[in-house]
Chains A and B, each alone.
Chain A
Amino acid sequence: MNSLGEAFIAAWQLLAGFDAELAQVVGLSLQVSITAVLIATLIGLPLGATIAVERFRGRQMLIVLLNALMGLPPVVVGLLVYLLLSRAGPLGSLGILFTPQAMIIAQTVLIAPIIAALSRQTIEDAWREYEEQLRSLGARRLTAGMTLIWDTRFSLLTIVLAGFGRAVAEVGAVMIVGGNIDGVTRVMTTTIALETSKGDLPLALGLGIVLISLVVVLNALVAVIREAALRRYG
């Protein structure tokens, strides 16, 4: 039995006969992960930029911590967010466990450190290069930070994409806080885990191929936008 061949056939059938159920699962995957990446960027980017241009006590330790947090295991993040959001936990009254919001929170926690740590490095490198120039223009640190974010925006875009890739591909956190509820919190990766546990390996791998294709298409879209922007702004 050629499982790989079957998987590609399954993937093709899934894509060709784009059914409503799959569309919903794919839609939710994108919705959750894109929202998470946006929130994580809003947190991570200013944080990374601040650490890059400011000098303060404990800065080095913060950088080490941030870099280490890039390796947060999704299942641990899932468990933490689960315990926070559980009815028996401190944020239980919100009642958002087993909802997409809980999944967004978990993924945000997971990728905000990645975006913060990587953008800190990128912006700091640029800061080293342009510090004197910016200072001679009389730029304050805040202005300098914003200028550097704008200057390195294309590198930062790649960082955001890396965060998105991590979010959309992880299963450990969303499985725990989302509960893989059919039609409510079932996303691509939890569907793949479910089909694997049903022993339908070709379908599971087929879904995996669909997921990878989607990520490729999304990255291609971003690349096109980036090219267009590059031509316009240089």
Chain B
Amino acid sequence: MAIVRGVVLALTLLGVLQGPAAWAQQKSIVVASTTSTENSGLFKHILPIFKTKTGIDVRVVAQGTGQALDTGKRGDADVVFVHDKVKELALVKEGAFVNRNDVMYNDFVVVGPKSDPAKIVGSKDVTAALKAISAAKAPFASRGDKSGTHAAELRLWQAAGVDVASGKGGWYRETGSGMGATLNTASGMNAYALTDRGTWLSFKNRGDLTIVVEGDKRLFNQYGVMLVNPARHSHVKKELGQSFIDWLVSADGQKSIANYKIGGEQLFFPNAGR
């Protein structure tokens, strides 16, 4: 029975036989958030600080804002931390979430190839730049995944008066995936793309891409946090979740967010209660 003995030994070493109890942890919450906060490394910076203060383990599931809101609505998370204020407020009104707070902001930027076929480099007018991209039929990579960034992008196209449906399959290319994956695609085919600055700063596979449009007020990107309505989902850890929300908007939490920098550049600007 050498095989059996070998398998049992291997499993014991791996701790499989300890059973599920070993995985259960006492104080933890699940936070559904966006790929931008996770990929930019913000959580890796602030969560250890929060854990030291409170002993609460925050488990982040990073999804697009649309999916994260859905995860919260289904009751599969305790807290959501996303960036689509319009939709967030609508869902609070509907009763899916409570106690929404502004936490921080950063901004979107338009990135594109250095060759700049739409001739928009250095522009501060994002709608004019988008118009130029569509007029030049220059390739544009869109998230196409109902994320917060995708929603913001669609609002900007609308403001620019461009109907992107006509460009689908042509110059307007929906990747249907996360920010990083979309940037990988844009970098591969030298396309323009709208991205949050945080993901861009921490993104490594830039290839020929560079920031072409920034600084327009319409590129403002607000992040908010809210609790899944415990009246709808009784299992929601409301005390622990609320203490995470309270900490994020506290002086200490806000300072921790401001202190997160990549290459000396601040990624997120705290603005809770302002």
Task: Please report A residues at the B interface, Cβ cutoff 8 Å.
Answer: 27, 30-31, 34-35, 38, 86-88, 92, 95, 97-101, 153, 157, 179-182, 184, 194, 196-201, 225-226, 228-229, 232
- The reply to whether B204 and A229 contact each other, CB–CB distance below 8 Å, is no
Residue in contact with A197 in the complex, picked from B2, B180, B206, CB distance below 8 Å: B180
* Bound: A195/B244 CA distance, A: 27
- Cβ of B146 under 8 Å from chain A: no
Considering only CB atoms, which chain B residue lies closest to A233 in the complex? B2
Contacts of A34 in B (CB 8 A): 10-11, 14, 16
- Residue from A88, A98, A199 in contact with B59 in the complex, judged by beta carbons closer than 8 Å: A98
Please, could you name 22 A-B residue pairs with CB atoms under 8 Å apart, sorted by A? A31-B14, A31-B15, A87-B74, A87-B235, A88-B74, A92-B75, A98-B30, A98-B59, A157-B3, A179-B59, A180-B61, A180-B62, A181-B30, A181-B60, A181-B61, A182-B43, A184-B59, A197-B177, A198-B203, A199-B206, A201-B204, A225-B3
Cβ–Cβ < 8 Å partners of B74 in chain A: 86-88
* Residues from chain A with Cβ under 8 Å of B14 in the complex: 27, 30-31, 34
- Min Cβ gap B242→A in Å is 19
A196 to B11, CA, bound (A): 31
B270 within 8 A of A: no
Give Cα A197 to B2, complex, Å.
43
How far is B229's CA from A87's CA once the two chains are assembled, in angstroms? 13
B205 touches A200 (CB 8 A): yes
With contacts A30-B14, A181-B61, A198-B203 taken as known, whether A95 is within 8 angstroms of B235 at the C-beta atoms is yes
User: How many B residues touch A, CB cutoff 8 Å?
Assistant: 38
Evaluate contact between A87 and B2: CB separation under 8 angstroms.
no
Nearest CB in chain A: distance from B270 CB, A: 22
Interface contacts beyond A88-B76, A98-B30: sample of 4 additional A-B pairs, CB < 8 Å, sorted by A = A34-B11, A87-B75, A198-B39, A199-B203
B39–A197 touching, CB < 8 Å: yes
Residues 115-148 of B contacting A (Cβ, < 8 Å): none
Q: Are A98 and B180 in contact (CB under 8 A)?
A: no
Q: Is the CB of B233 within 8 A of A87?
A: yes
A92–B233 alpha-carbon span in the complex (Å): 11
Task: Return the contact of A199 from the options B62, B75, B180, B233 (Cβ within 8 A).
Answer: B180
B59 touches A196 (CB 8 A): no
Q: Could you tell me the distance between the alpha carbons of A194 and B11 in the complex, rounded to whole angstroms?
A: 28
Q: How far is the CA of A200 from the CA of B180 in the complex (A)?
A: 10
Q: Which residues of A contact B6 (CB under 8 A)?
A: 225
Across-interface contacts of B106 in A (CB, < 8 A): none
Contact between B184 and A196, CB atoms less than 8 A apart: yes
Q: Known interface pairs A34-B11, A87-B76, A198-B202. Does A232 touch B2 (Cβ–Cβ under 8 Å)?
A: yes
Is B181 located at the chain interface by the 8 A CB criterion? yes
Note all chain A residues with C-beta closer than 8 A to B2.
225, 228-229, 232
Q: Do A182 and B44 form a contact, CB below 8 Å, given A87-B76, A98-B61, A197-B180?
A: yes
Do A198 and B180 touch (CB < 8 A)? yes
